[in-house]
Amino acid sequence: ALSGGEILEADSIVLCAGCGAVSLLRNLGITLPLAAVKAYSLHISDHISAPRLRYAALLEDGVSCLVTPYHDTDPPSVRVTGIRDLDGMNDVVREKRVSSLMGSAHRFLGEFDEKNVAVWAGVMAVSPDDFPIVGRLERFDNLYVNVGHGFRGTNWSLATAKLLSQHMVGVPDRCLPECAMAPC
């Protein structure tokens, strides 16, 4: 039921609620093996090196991080991502973690005005094997999940949504057997 008490009817339901899927399914007696992992990133606008960086760079000096140039922003900018914490489902931004990431950014990019930095921290659902959990839940004929994409959510979620929708309407699975829809 919706918050206003309205009941919606559906032939099938796809649950794609990230870490929220754990508590939603717990009410149905289903356990999903997902961990809430917090990731941090810095978005540095108007950075002098952004136009010169052609590709993303993985840094393994101190804090491991990925530096990605954004040439299509005005002005060009750089995103620095890294640091993963098993910190639970909360919106706490730990200043020590931001400082560590900022130090790596300074080592790679040199000096920049920290007033031009937007800090982001967000929670992602990660499965034990770091692969998404996609498919029909065994206990229900009409309940499907598409969760656990972790740090590859923007890369994989659209592809798994398409595969799941095709599976739901009976389109033959063209994935390799090890990537086929597996019930949870």
Give the C-alpha separation, 69 to 45, whole Å. 10
Q: Which two tokens stand for residue 158?
A: 């659209």
**Which pLDDT score, from 0 to 100, does residue 56 have?**
87
Spatial strand order in the sheet of 133-136? 13-15, 143-147, 133-136
Q: Which two tokens stand for residue 78?
A: 């750089």
Mean pLDDT on 58-73: 84
Reported as a single tens digit per residue, the pLDDT across 103-125 is: 999 988 888 888 999 999 999 99
**Contact in structure between 12 and 18 (CB atoms under 8 Å):** no
Please state the domain extents for the chain.
13-33+129-179, 36-126
**Contact in structure between 153 and 146 (CB atoms under 8 Å):** no
Residues 24, 26, 32, 34: is their CA dihedral positive or negative? positive
Tell me if the bond preceding 132 is cis, omega within 30° of 0.
Answer: no
- At 145, give phi and psi (nearest 5°): -125, 155
pLDDT exceeds cutoff 70 at 179:
no
**Which pLDDT score, from 0 to 100, does residue 175 have?**
65
Give the C-alpha separation, 74 to 28, whole Å. 48
Helix and strand totals (H; E) in the chain? 3, 8
Mean pLDDT on 85-89: 87
Mean pLDDT on 42-55: 83
pTM (predicted TM-score):
0.77
